[in-house]
Structure 1
């Protein structure tokens, strides 16, 4: 699997699974009716931020990540990232590869830490992955996310020093 910087030409390959994940409403606090242009504006980031794609051996985009400053100003020493893996290609190491790539990027950019502000507590596979890479839950906002089947659930803040 190749992880590389995303280009505008990758968006048509990202959009179908991006839309499927957002519309499911289980892991991202994005509007469920987000259209392709809105999604593109939120996901394809300009430098110095970064968006990457994971490409399988057949040349298919199977996942994507966006990396950015977590907070401007006095918080700009902490990075953040978000990940999406095509649901038809989960449990194949794509999420781990994207997360490891984003940690390398953050270190190379000189960030002191990486933080995720809103990891849905029912997203147990993501929580387990992040913890395996050194992240720890630093707090949970109870009932901060409206899950379509679980009701109101918490959002974890997860942090790792780089």
Structure 2
């Protein structure tokens, strides 16, 4: 698998799984019916740096992630990131590889830490983030209307870089 910075023409290969994941309504706080145009702006607008995980044998994009400042001004050295792995390619270590790549890229870009503002507490990725050194700073209770689990909390997670 090759992880590289995304090119402008990668979006049409990201959108199908981006849409599928957000439409499921169980891991992201974005509207389930987000349009493609709005989705592209959410995922790729500057100052975000977007990356893709590409299967080198088929050229298929199997995941994507971005890193961006979470805050501005004197707090702009704290990063935020987003991650998506095509559900058809889950369970192959793509999420971990993307996460490790993004953490290294954020460090190289001068970020001192990374914060996730709204991790759905029932998201299986919580286990991955904890294994990579993220801690739960707090949980906003009953903040997310999960399609199967009802109201669940949103974790705020942090890791120093």
- Could you tell me which residue of structure 2 aligns to residue 54 of structure 1? 53
- What is the DSSP-based 3-state SS (H/G/I as helix, E as strand, rest coil) of the residue aligned with 1:110? coil
- What is the DSSP-based 3-state SS (H/G/I as helix, E as strand, rest coil) of the residue aligned with 1:31? coil
- Could you tell me which residue of structure 2 aligns to residue 112 of structure 1? 112
Deviations 1:32-77 (A, max 9, x none): 1111111111111335x30000001221000000110011123212
Task: Mark the runs of 5 or more structure 1 residues left unpaired by the alignment.
Answer: none
1-structure distance, mates of 2:134, 2:35: 32
Deviation of the 1:9 alpha carbon: 0.6
1:61-140 matched pairs, under 5 angstroms: 61-123=61-123, 125-140=124-139
The normalised TM-score by structure 2 is 0.96
Deviation of the 1:7 alpha carbon: 1.4
**Displaced runs of 4 or more, over 3 A:** none
On the 8 A contact 1:8/1:44 being kept in 2, the answer is: no
- What is the DSSP-based 3-state SS (H/G/I as helix, E as strand, rest coil) of the residue aligned with 1:95? helix
- Could you tell me which residue of structure 1 aligns to residue 14 of structure 2? 14
Task: Mark the runs of 5 or more structure 2 residues left unpaired by the alignment.
Answer: none
The normalised TM-score by structure 1 is 0.95
- What is the DSSP-based 3-state SS (H/G/I as helix, E as strand, rest coil) of the residue aligned with 2:39? helix
2-structure distance, mates of 1:21, 1:90: 12
On the 8 A contact 1:6/1:44 being kept in 2, the answer is: no
Structure 2 residue 142 is the aligned partner of structure 1 residue 143:
yes
1:26-37 matched pairs, under 5 angstroms: 26-37=26-37
- Aligned CA-pair RMSD: 1.0
- What is the DSSP-based 3-state SS (H/G/I as helix, E as strand, rest coil) of the residue aligned with 2:16? helix
- What is the DSSP-based 3-state SS (H/G/I as helix, E as strand, rest coil) of the residue aligned with 1:114? strand
2-structure distance, mates of 1:30, 1:93: 25
